Structure 1
Amino acid sequence: MAEILAAGVALKPALALLRAGDVVAIPTETVYGLAGDATNGIGVARIFEAKGRPRFNPLIAHVADMAMAEHIGLFDRLSESLALAFWPGPLTLVLPQRPGNGIHPLVTAGLDTIALRMPRGFGRDLIANLGRPIAAPSANSSGRISATTAQAVAADLGDRIRLVVNGGATPVGLESTIVKAEGGRLRLLRPGGIAAGEIEAAVGMALLRGGSAGIEAPGMLASHYAPDAAVRLDARTVAQDEALLGFGDRRAEGWQHAAAFRNLSQSGDLREAATNLFAHMQELDRVGARAIAVEPIPSDGLGEAINDRLSRAAAPRDNPAPAA
Structure 2
Amino acid sequence: MAEILPVDEAMDSALALLGAGDVVAIPTETVYGLAGDATNGEAVARIFEAKGRPRFNPLIAHVCDMEMAERIGRFDPLSRRLAEAFWPGPLTLVLPLREEAGIHPLVTAGLSTIALRMPRGFGGELIARLGRPLAAPSANSSGRISATTAQAVAADLGRRIRLVVDGGATPVGLESTIVKVEDGALHLLRPGGTAAGDIEAVTGTALARGATGVQAPGMLASHYAPRALLKLNVLVVNPGEALLAFGPHRVQGWKQAVAVKNLSETGDMREAAANLFAYMHELDRSGATTIAAEPVPAQGLGEAINDRLSRAAAPRDGPA
- Give the structure-2-normalised TM-score: 0.99
| One-letter amino acid of the counterpart of residue 282, structure 2 | E
- Partner residue, 2:71: 71
| One-letter amino acid of the counterpart of residue 116, structure 2 | L
Please list, as runs of the form range in 1=range in 2, the aligned pairs for 1:218-233 lying within 5 A after superposition.
Answer: 218-233=217-232
- Partner residue, 1:290: 289
Q: Encode CA deviations 1:173-194: one digit per residue, 9 max, x unaligned.
A: 0000000000011000000000
- Partner residue, 2:214: 215
| One-letter amino acid of the counterpart of residue 287, structure 2 | G
| One-letter amino acid of the counterpart of residue 304, structure 2 | A
- Partner residue, 2:185: 185
- Partner residue, 1:146: 146
- Are the aligned partners of 1:190 and 1:210 in contact in 2 as well (CA < 8 Å)? no
- Partner residue, 2:269: 270
- Partner residue, 1:3: 3
| One-letter amino acid of the counterpart of residue 142, structure 1 | S
DSSP-derived class of the 2:70 partner: helix
d(CA) in 1 for partners of 2:292 and 2:313? Answer: 10
- Are the aligned partners of 1:189 and 1:211 in contact in 2 as well (CA < 8 Å)? yes
d(CA) in 2 for partners of 1:210 and 1:220? Answer: 11
- Partner residue, 1:112: 112
- Partner residue, 1:85: 85
- Partner residue, 1:249: 248
> Where in structure 1 do 4 or more consecutive aligned residues deviate above 2 Å?
none
Point out where structure 2 has 5 or more consecutive residues left out of the alignment: none
Q: Encode CA deviations 1:19-54: one digit per residue, 9 max, x unaligned.
A: 000000000000000000000000000000000000
d(CA) in 2 for partners of 1:290 and 1:240? Answer: 11
Q: 1:88 Cα shift?
A: 0.2
- Partner residue, 1:61: 61
Q: Encode CA deviations 1:163-208: one digit per residue, 9 max, x unaligned.
A: 0000000000000000000001100000000000000000001000
DSSP-derived class of the 1:10 partner: helix
- Partner residue, 1:308: 307
- Partner residue, 1:97: 97
DSSP-derived class of the 1:179 partner: strand
Q: What is the total number of aligned residue pairs between the two structures?
A: 319
Q: 1:257 Cα shift?
A: 1.0
| One-letter amino acid of the counterpart of residue 302, structure 1 | L
DSSP-derived class of the 2:64 partner: coil
DSSP-derived class of the 1:160 partner: coil
| One-letter amino acid of the counterpart of residue 114, structure 2 | I
d(CA) in 2 for partners of 1:97 and 1:258? Answer: 49
d(CA) in 2 for partners of 1:200 and 1:281? Answer: 30
d(CA) in 1 for partners of 2:316 and 2:128? Answer: 38
- Partner residue, 2:135: 135
| One-letter amino acid of the counterpart of residue 13, structure 1 | S
| One-letter amino acid of the counterpart of residue 29, structure 1 | E
- Partner residue, 1:197: 197
Aligned residues with identical type, % of pairs: 76
d(CA) in 2 for partners of 1:290 and 1:114? Answer: 38
Q: 1:210 Cα shift?
A: 2.8
**What root-mean-square deviation, in Å, do the aligned CA atoms of Structure 1 and Structure 2 show?**
0.9
Q: 1:319 Cα shift?
A: 6.9
- Are the aligned partners of 1:191 and 1:305 in contact in 2 as well (CA < 8 Å)? yes
Point out where structure 1 has 5 or more consecutive residues left out of the alignment: none
- Partner residue, 1:42: 42
1:239 paired to 2:238:
yes
Q: Encode CA deviations 1:245-299: one digit per residue, 9 max, x unaligned.
A: 0000110101011010000000000110000000000000001112000000000
- Partner residue, 1:259: 258
DSSP-derived class of the 1:94 partner: strand
d(CA) in 1 for partners of 2:9 and 2:258? Answer: 41
d(CA) in 2 for partners of 1:133 and 1:34? Answer: 13
d(CA) in 2 for partners of 1:203 and 1:210? Answer: 19
